[in-house]
C-alpha cells in the first residue's frame, strides 16, 4: 500500500513494511537532540529511571547543543550547563558544543544541520518543539518532553503514533520580496493555530523546490505553530549538496509514493502570496503587511532558529544597506557560523556587520536564542514594558519576549527590516 | 507523582480559555529550574500559570506555593507551543489532578501522559463556558464524568483512548516496564 514520506520513514524505523495513520509503533531513534533548558531534566529522568551509573544507548546519537540561556549572569543557567558538561564527559558524548569553548555553535536547530547530523530518512527527536525544523532535509523530526527524551537516552526507542499527512502544494514563482516566512504564516493563518494538530505537514510544489535549504527550514520550523507533529520536504539535489558539504555519512533517503493518501491537500499559487505579519498573540493572526501600515513599532528583532540564519540577515541587509533604522533594531545570529558570515559576506564592498552598523542597528549579540523566548532578566533584546515589536521569530504569545504587556508581530526578515526603517509595519515592496 | 492513585478527584475548578500556551503556563524565565530536583519541582509549581494576562484571576494566591484549584477546565488547544515538560510539571506541582479541555496541543498532551502528573481529559462540550472559577466539582475517573457539585449537572468526558493503558500504568516508564520494553527499575 502506498505511503507518504512520513509514513515510510516511520515504517522503516519501526522495522515494518507498512504503517497507517493512527498506528502506535516503537521507532528506533537516529538522533536525540537536547539543550541547556531541557537537558538537565532529561538527564535527571534518565538517571532516576535507569540508575546513576546507567549508560546512554549510543553516545554518538546524542547531540547536546546549549543555546537558550548562555550569555546571562543567571546562576542556575550556568549550573545547568555544568550538568551537561559532566554528563557528556561521563557518557563519552562527542556532539557537545560547549559555550565556553571554541566548539560553541549556538541555536540548536540551525547548528544540528550545520554539523551534519540531519540526514534524509532518519528519525530525530529533540526536547524542543522546533525540532520539526529538520524535516527541511527530509528527516522525520519532532519535539518531545524530558520524560520521553530520558526514555530514549536509555533505550534508543520511542512509542509514537503515526500521523495523518496534510499536504501543502505551492506551485508557481514567489514574487520578489516574498519569503518562506510569508508562505508559512499564510498557511498557518488559513488552517489555524491548531489546524495541523497531530498531523504531518508535507510541503511540496515548484515554489518549495525553488527555495534554499535555509528557507525550507523556516517553513518546517513553524509547523508546530499550526500544531503539526512534523514538517517535511522531500529531499532533492539541493538537500544532498547541503548535507554532503557537512558529513560523509552514507545517505539513505526516503521518498513518499506518488499515490499515497493524504488527509487533505492545500494548493497555493505562489504568485498570489504577499509579505505579511502574524499579529499578537497567536501565529495564526495573519494580515498582509500592506493592510497594517498603521501599526507603530517600538523595536525590531532579527534572530532565532526561524529568522536568524544567514539567509535572513542577507535579506535584511538588502534593505538596510540603503537606509537607517528608526526604531531600536536587535540582531542575534543563530549560530557562530552565521556570525562569522556576517563579517565575511559583503554587499558593494561593505560587510553585513558594517551595513547593520551604518544603518544604526544595536550592537550584534553573540549567537543564542536570546529574547525569542524572553529568558532571564538580563537577556539581550528582552522586552520589559509595553513595546510593540516586529520580529523574525516564531511565536507572538503573551509575554513570549519577556513582558506580558509587550506585543509581537511576526514577519519575514525583509518585512522586519523595512518596518525598522519606517517605524511602522511596512511591506518590503514599498521601500527601495 | 502518579495520578492513578485515586478514582474520584474532588475540588475547586479554575477556568481558562482557548490557546493557553506553554509560555503562559510557565514563562521562559523559570526554565532554569530543573524539574527532577525536588525543591525546583516545588518552585515550578509556585509559578504555574503566572504568565496569564493580569486580567485573569490568580491561579496561585500571592505568597502561596500551591494552588487552591484541583481541576482545570479549558477550551481548545490547551498547552500549545513549547515542548517544555516544565509546563505539565508546574501544573501538577501546583496541585492540579485533572485537566478537562476541548482539545490539547500534541506535545503537551504527550508530556502529561508521559509524566503522569494529572489526567488530561477531553470533552466534546465546551465546558469552559459552563464552569466558573471557584466552582466545586467531582471528577469520576471510572464513570468518566465531571460533575458540578452545587447543581449536580454531569458532563461526559471522552475516553482516553490509545493512551489509556499508558495513563493507567502511571506514565511512560511504568507502561514500558509493564509491557516488557525495558527491565525493572535500577
Q: Does B148 touch chain A (CB under 8 A)?
A: no
Domain ranges, residue B103: 3-157
Taking an 8 Å cut-off on Cβ atoms, the answer to whether B24 and A397 are in contact is yes
| Structure ipTM | 0.96
Beta strand pairing call for A350-351 and A346-347: antiparallel
Chain B nearest C-alpha distance from A172 (Å): 31
Q: How many residues does chain A have?
A: 432
Residue B81's CATH number: 3.20.19.10
Instruction: Tell me what the mean pLDDT of segment A263-290 comes to.
Output: 98
Name which CATH class applies to A275-430.
alpha beta
Q: Does the CA dihedral A390-A393-A396-A401 come out positive or negative?
A: negative
Nearest alpha-carbon partner for B111 in A8, A269, A273, A149 = A149
Chain B nearest C-alpha distance from A244 (Å): 30
Within-domain flag for B185: no
Q: What percent of chain A is predicted at pLDDT more than 70?
A: 100
Nearest alpha-carbon partner for B149 in B6, B31, B11, B1 = B11
CA angle B63, B67, B71 (to 5 degrees): 165
Chain B residues touching A399 at Cβ < 8 A: 23-24, 27, 51
Q: Does the CA dihedral A237-A243-A244-A250 come out positive or negative?
A: negative
The Cα–Cα gap between A178 and A4 comes to 29
Choice between A285 and B2, residue whose per-residue pLDDT is larger: A285
Taking an 8 Å cut-off on Cβ atoms, the answer to whether B105 and A83 are in contact is no
Taking an 8 Å cut-off on Cβ atoms, the answer to whether B32 and A376 are in contact is yes
Q: pLDDT (tens digit, 0 to 9) for every residue of chain B, 186 residues total?
A: 444 456 899 999 999 999 999 999 999 999 999 999 999 999 999 999 999 999 999 999 999 999 999 999 999 999 999 999 999 999 999 999 999 999 999 999 999 999 989 999 999 999 999 999 999 999 999 899 999 998 999 999 999 887 878 877 878 899 889 988 888 875
For residue B171, the model assigns a pLDDT of 86
For residue B5, the model assigns a pLDDT of 53
Q: Which of residues 75-114 of B touch A (CB under 8 A)?
A: 76-77, 80-86, 88, 103, 105-107, 110-111, 114
* pLDDT tens column, A220-258: 999 999 999 999 999 999 999 999 999 999 999 999 999
For residue B3, the model assigns a pLDDT of 45
- Asked if A336 and A98 count as a contact pair (C-beta separation under 8 A), the reply is no
Within-domain flag for B65: yes
Report the residue of chain A nearest B82, measured CA to CA: A129
Number of independent structural domains in chain B: 1
Within-domain flag for B180: no
Is 60 exceeded by the pLDDT of residue A143? yes
Chain B nearest C-alpha distance from A191 (Å): 14
Chain A residues touching B181 at Cβ < 8 A: 26, 155, 157, 159
Taking an 8 Å cut-off on Cβ atoms, the answer to whether B182 and A398 are in contact is no
Taking an 8 Å cut-off on Cβ atoms, the answer to whether B86 and A154 are in contact is no
Region of poorest pLDDT, from A23-27, A172-176, B138-142, B182-186: B182-186
Query: Which of the listed CATH numbers 3.90.1170.50, 3.40.50.150, 3.30.499.10, 3.40.190.10 matches domain A5-254+263-268?
Result: 3.30.499.10
Choosing among B82, B87, B166, B179, which should be mutated to test the A contact, i.e. which has the most A CBs within 10 A? B82
For residue B81, the model assigns a pLDDT of 97
Chain region(s) in chain A for CATH 3.30.499.10? 5-254+263-268, 275-430
Mean pLDDT of chain A: 98
Region of poorest pLDDT, from A159-173, A310-324, B47-61, B148-162: B148-162
Taking an 8 Å cut-off on Cβ atoms, the answer to whether A131 and B83 are in contact is yes
The Cα–Cα gap between A274 and A181 comes to 10
For residue B6, the model assigns a pLDDT of 66
Instruction: Tell me what the mean pLDDT of segment A130-138 comes to.
Output: 98
Amino acid at each position: 500500500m502506498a505511503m507518504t514520506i512520513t509514513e515510510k520513514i516511520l515504517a522503516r524505523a519501526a522495522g515494518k513494511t507498512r504503517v497507517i495513520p493512527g498506528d502506535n509503533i516503537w521507532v528506533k531513534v537516529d538522533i536525540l537532540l537536547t539543550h541547556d533548558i531541557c537537558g538537565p531534566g532529561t538527564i535527571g529522568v534518565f538517571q532516576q529511571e535507569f540508575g546513576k551509573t546507567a549508560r546512554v544507548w549510543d553516545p554518538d546519537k546524542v547531540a547536546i547543543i546549549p543555546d537558550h540561556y548562555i550569555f546571562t549572569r543567571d546562576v542556575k543557567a550556568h549550573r545547568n550547563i555544568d550538568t551537561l558538561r559532566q554528563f557528556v564527559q561521563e557518557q563519552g558524548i562527542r556532539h557537545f558544543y560547549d559555550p565556553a569553548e571554541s566548539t560553541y555553535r549556538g541555536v540548536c536547530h540551525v547548528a544540528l544541520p550545520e554539523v551534519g547530523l540531519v540526514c534524509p530518512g532518519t528519525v530525530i527527536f529533540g526536547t524542543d518543539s522546533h525540532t520539526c525544523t529538520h524535516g527541511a532535509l527530509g528527516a522525520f523530526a519532532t519535539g518531545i518532553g524530558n520524560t520521553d527524551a530520558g526514555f530514549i537516552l536509555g533505550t534508543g526507542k520511542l512509542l509514537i503514533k503515526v500521523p495523518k499527512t496534510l499536504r501543502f502544494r505551492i506551485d508557481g514563482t514567489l514574487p520578489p520580496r516574498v519569503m518562506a516566512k510569508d508562505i508559512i504564516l499564510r498557511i498557518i493563518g488559513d488552517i489555524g493555530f491548531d489546524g495541523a494538530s497531530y498531523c504531518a505537514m508535507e510541503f511540496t510544489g515548484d515554489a518549495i523546490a525553488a527555495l534554499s535549504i535555509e528557507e525550507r527550514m523556516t517553513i518546517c520550523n513553524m509547523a508546530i505553530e499550526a500544531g503539526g507533529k512534523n514538517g517535511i520536504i522531500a529531499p532533492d539535489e539541493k538537500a544532498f549538496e547541503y548535507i554532503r558539504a557537512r558529513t560523509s555519512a552514507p545517505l539513505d533517503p526516503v521518498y513518499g509514493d506518488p499515490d499515497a493518501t493524504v488527509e487533505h491537500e492545500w494548493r497555493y499559487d505562489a504568485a498570489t502570496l504577499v509579505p505579511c505579519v502574524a499579529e499578537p498573540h497567536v501565529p495564526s493572526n495573519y494580515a498582509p503587511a500592506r493592510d497594517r501600515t498603521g501599526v507603530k513599532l517600538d523595536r525590531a528583532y532579527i534572530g532565532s532558529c526561524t529568522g536568524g540564519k544567514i539567509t535572513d540577515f542577507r535579506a535584511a541587509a538588502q534593505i538596510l544597506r540603503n537606509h537607517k533604522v528608526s526604531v531600536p533594531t536587535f540582531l542575534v545570529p543563530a549560530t557562530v557560523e552565521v556570525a562569522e558570515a556576517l563579517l565575511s559576506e559583503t554587499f558593494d564592498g561593505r560587510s553585513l556587520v558594517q551595513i547593520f552598523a551604518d544603518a544604526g542597528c544595536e550592537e550584534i549579540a553573540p549567537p543564542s536564542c536570546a529574547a525569542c523566548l524572553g529568558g532571564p532578566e538580563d537577556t539581550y533584546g528582552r522586552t520589559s514594558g509595553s513595546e510593540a515589536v516586529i520580529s523574525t521569530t516564531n511565536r507572538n504569545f503573551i509575554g513570549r519576549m519577556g513582558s506580558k504587556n509587550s506585543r509581537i508581530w511576526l514577519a519575514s526578515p525583509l518585512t522586519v527590516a523595512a518596518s525598522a526603517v519606517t517605524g511602522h509595519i511596512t511591506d518590503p515592496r514599498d521601500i527601495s | 507523582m502518579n495520578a492513578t492513585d485515586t478514582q474520584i478527584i474532588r475540588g475547586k475548578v479554575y477556568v481558562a480559555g482557548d490557546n493557553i500556551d506553554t509560555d503562559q503556563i510557565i514563562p521562559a524565565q523559570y526554565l532554569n529550574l530543573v524539574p527532577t530536583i525536588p525543591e525546583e519541582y516545588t518552585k515550578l509549581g509556585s509559578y504555574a500559570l503566572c504568565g496569564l494576562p493580569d486580567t485573569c484571576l490568580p491561579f496561585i494566591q500571592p505568597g502561596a506555593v500551591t494552588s487552591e484549584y484541583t481541576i482545570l477546565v479549558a477550551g481548545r488547544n490547551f498547552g500549545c507551543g513549547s515542548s517544555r515538560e516544565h509546563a505539565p510539571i508546574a501544573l501538577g506541582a501546583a496541585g492540579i489532578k485533572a485537566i478537562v479541555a476541548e482539545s490539547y496541543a500534541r506535545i503537551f498532551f504527550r508530556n502529561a501522559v508521559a509524566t503522569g502528573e494529572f489526567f488530561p481529559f477531553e470533552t466534546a462540550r465546551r465546558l469552559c463556558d459552563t464552569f466558573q472559577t471557584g466552582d466545586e466539582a467531582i471528577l469520576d475517573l471510572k464513570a468518566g464524568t465531571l460533575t458540578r457539585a452545587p447543581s449536580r449537572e454531569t458532563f461526559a468526558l471522552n475516553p482516553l483512548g490509545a493512551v489509556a493503558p499508558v495513563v493507567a500504568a502511571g506514565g511512560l516508564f511504568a507502561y514500558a516496564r509493564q509491557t516488557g520494553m525495558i527491565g525493572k527499575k535500577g
